[in-house]
Amino acid sequence: MSTAARSTRETVGHASDLAVGSMKLARVGERRIVVVRTPSGIHALDNACPHQGYGLVTGSLDGELLTCQWHNWKYRVSDGVCVIGEENVPCHGVEVIDDEVIVTVVEPTVDEQRAVLWPSLRSGIEKDYQGQVARDALRLLGTAVSPTAIIWEGVKLGAPRNEWGLGHEMATSADCLALAGELGGERAKTAIVQALSGLAEATRAYPARPLPEADGSIDLVAAIEAEDHTAAMARVVADVRSGRPVTDVATDFIEAVSRHHYDYGHGAIYTQKAFELLAEVAHTEAEHLLPHLAATLAWGTREDTLPYMNKAMAELDGVDLDAVAAGGGPGDDAARDVMVATLLDAPEAPIAAAARFAAAGAGVTGLLDAVTLAVSYRLLRHDLDLEFRLDDPFGWLDITHGLTYSRAARWAWGVHPSPAAARLALFTVWLAHDTGRGERRNHVAAPVEGAPSDLSLGEAILRRDESAAVGAALDGGMTEVTRAMAEASLYDHAGSFIVQAHLIKTARAAGEEAATIGSSIPLAAAARFLAAPRLERFAARNAVESDHFISTGRPPLR
């Protein structure tokens, strides 16, 4: 369509009637326009403020600046640039012919709208302007840009900027993208905005980590083991640029991530989420993500090198991983329930018992079933008194990782069924045991069993009625509960992004694990986590911990 065909040209008044410093409202075609006269001339801008749509004509003029009185955003009238506030306001052409003020509005094509919206979205993310990010994302959606493209733009911007590699913002983006597709409609919009919100908060305008020169001669596992993030990234750059099959690249990552118990399980969780995200987007986009995953692992804490894992590591070193990997599975429910009880009650991480259980017929899949169920029971009996004790750092998030880690190990096993993936599954056994350290330090609380209620699952979660939420999760059909839980996880019911991220990730992992195992227990566990009171910010706890350290020189309780 030509510009002429899209343009509307109308006389909106007489220049002699417009004093310098005055404004008037006009209509040009379908648009409401504010016509402004300043010392520099006559200008025309959209009347709707890009913030919330209030009329700019009710604002005030100060020289060349127009202030929207509603929230004090200020626009330069000559070009619509927002000098205090967020997005710019569209400007229109003005001619004065024989005292007539003529405004021409050219309706932008979809491509022209996008050309303005993409940079605006990126700017909003870099500044962590949450409102701008939401508005621009939904404006882009209105121009038929896909949820995938919008979320991926945020990930591309964020992945190189997170200081220590990928974090919860990437993992949450993967889940939100999946949820946008599954839930559709209004909930898809919420999922997109939740994803971008996390990316904006976590990465902002930190300097981007540059990609090194590709080097296919480097061994990825060895580079990560050596904590050489540049070498690890160089290998991955070579892989993705040469078009190496993605399963082969994933296999290398699984080999690397199974060497250690990384960052409370986050190494494996981020690996799973990064590859799931790429599967949704396109593997050809891997260069924007996977090199940064390699850096994440190179920088990750190897928890298995810490003293509290010594016994478990000694047991793990004695395990025949080939036998575990060859164990078949998932075995029968009675044996699984015995393993669940062992995971819950053993005084030390039952690594050798878990390996025997897997090798005897449960296999890695049966072992992960048991891990998921054990961690779910821990979630159902987490003592809320402990949650709010500031001198004890143990809390909900420590337990939820047990569930997402188990899910990540199952993904790894699906991609690369191997001794390496078997080893990763045994790390989840250790974490399942470690998720009980709060119980072991204090006491085992009675599990919340759930009570009949008229509340739907979503209502119960919003009203923080944990008993009703657990009851609804146990009583409902698994598919419906999974969907309701996913929707509820997108509500704004966390005070910080890190907690919101865990709500989304746990709800999703619980739904997937419930479907895999054929049990509603993971759903009930996640329902309780979403509904129950929880510590949501960590400033007060940081104060107590810091005070303890500074005054005694001793580390925090673990």
Give the residues lining the site for ligand FES (CB under 6 A).
Answer: 49, 51-52, 54, 68, 70-71, 73
Q: Give the strand order in the sheet containing 82-84.
A: 60-62, 65-67, 74-76, 82-84
Is residue 61 helix, strand or coil?
strand
Closest approach of Cβ 205 to ligand FES, in Å? 23
Closest approach of Cβ 131 to ligand FES, in Å? 9
- What's CA 296's distance to the chain center, in Å? 16
Please tell me the chain's helix, strand, coil percentages from 3-state DSSP, rounded to the nearest 5. Answer: 60, 10, 30
Residues 170 and 384: their CA atoms lie apart, in Å, by 29
Two structure tokens written together for 126: 């870099």
Going by their DSSP bridges, the two strands 100-106 and 91-97 should be labelled as: antiparallel
The beta-strand segments (E) located in 339-379 are none
| Closest CB to ligand FES among residues 50, 363 | 50
| Closest CB to ligand FES among residues 51, 292 | 51
Closest approach of Cβ 64 to ligand FES, in Å? 18
Going by their DSSP bridges, the two strands 65-67 and 74-76 should be labelled as: antiparallel
Own/partner pairs for 123-129, CB < 8 Å, 24+ apart?
124/86, 124/87, 124/200, 125/154, 125/157, 125/158, 125/196, 125/199, 125/200, 125/203, 125/204, 126/157, 126/200, 126/204, 126/205, 127/86, 127/200, 127/204, 127/205, 128/200, 128/201, 128/204, 129/86, 129/200
Residues 177 and 404: their CA atoms lie apart, in Å, by 17
Two structure tokens written together for 438: 């709060």
Residues 264 and 403: their CA atoms lie apart, in Å, by 12
Rg (CA), the chain: 28
Closest CA to 492 of 426, 536, 553: 536
Closest approach of Cβ 60 to ligand FES, in Å? 12
| Closest CB to ligand FES among residues 69, 109 | 69
| Closest CB to ligand FES among residues 70, 538 | 70
Two structure tokens written together for 513: 């694990």
| Closest CB to ligand FES among residues 51, 378 | 51
Closest approach of Cβ 90 to ligand FES, in Å? 14
| Closest CB to ligand FES among residues 51, 114 | 51
Residue 73 is classified by DSSP as -
Residues 304 and 107: their CA atoms lie apart, in Å, by 61
**SS3 sequence of 268-314:** HHHHHHHHHHHHHHCHHHHHHCHHHHHHHHHHCCEHHHCHHHHHHHH
The number of beta carbons lying within 10 Å of the beta carbon of residue 189 is 18
Closest approach of Cβ 28 to ligand FES, in Å? 21
Closest approach of Cβ 134 to ligand FES, in Å? 14
| Closest CB to ligand FES among residues 57, 448 | 57
Q: Among all chains, which residue has been given the structure tokens 């899209």?
A: 6
| Closest CB to ligand FES among residues 57, 103 | 57
| Closest CB to ligand FES among residues 79, 547 | 79
Closest approach of Cβ 492 to ligand FES, in Å? 20
Closest approach of Cβ 190 to ligand FES, in Å? 22
User: Residue 109: which residues within 8 A CB-CB, separation 6 or more?
Assistant: 1, 6
Closest approach of Cβ 61 to ligand FES, in Å? 14
Closest approach of Cβ 49 to ligand FES, in Å? 3
| Closest CB to ligand FES among residues 50, 147 | 50
Q: Where are the alpha helices (DSSP H) in 417-496?
A: 419-434, 437-441, 457-462, 466-475, 478-489
Closest approach of Cβ 138 to ligand FES, in Å? 16
- Cα separations (Å) of 229 from 17, 31, 88, 297, 298? 67, 53, 40, 8, 5
Closest approach of Cβ 51 to ligand FES, in Å? 3
| Closest CB to ligand FES among residues 74, 122 | 74
Residues 168 and 266: their CA atoms lie apart, in Å, by 9
Torsions phi, psi for 84 (to 5 deg): -135, 115
| Closest CB to ligand FES among residues 104, 123 | 123
| Closest CB to ligand FES among residues 11, 52 | 52
